[in-house]
Amino acid sequence: EVQLVESGGGLVQPGGSLRLSCAASGFTLSNYWMSWVRQAPGEGLEWVANIKQDGSEIKYVDSVKGRFTISRDNAKNSLYLQMNSLRAEDTAVYYCARGSAVAGFHFDDWGQGTLVTVSS
């Protein structure tokens, strides 16, 4: 059974940093693209970042470019999101998702999410 478990969320002040982790199990992480998708309170879904199986290709939504860094450690079955210069508008539940780039791009499994709150 595929399991994705996020951790690292919490309350942080504007301008601060936070590192999210996602522990993957039930599948071979190195065979899949991985992604972060976020959902602000009461709002819809927003894709944040993708990383290819070997880390050789990375993409970000414009609003986080230069502030967020997605990375992975296949040996540790883990995905990460380093978030710097956080803003109030980054407040959201952050989901780790397993991706597939076959015919477009879709997310075929999701974690339960971790809440990031940016507030003074």
Partner 1 sequence: QSVLTQPPSASGTPGQRVTISCSGSSSNIGSNPVNWYQQLPGTAPKLLIYSNNQRPSGVPDRFSYSKSGTSASLAISGLQSEDEADYYCAAWDDSLNGVVFGGGTKLTVL
The residue ranges that bind partner 1 (CB under 8 A) are 35, 37, 44-47, 50, 59-62, 95, 100, 102-113
Q: What angle do CA 81, 82, 85 make, to 5 degrees?
A: 130
At 40, which amino acid appears?
A: A
Closest distance to partner 1 from the beta carbon of 34 (Å):
13
* DSSP β-ladder status, 114-118 and 45-51: unpaired
Closest distance to partner 1 from the beta carbon of 75 (Å):
26
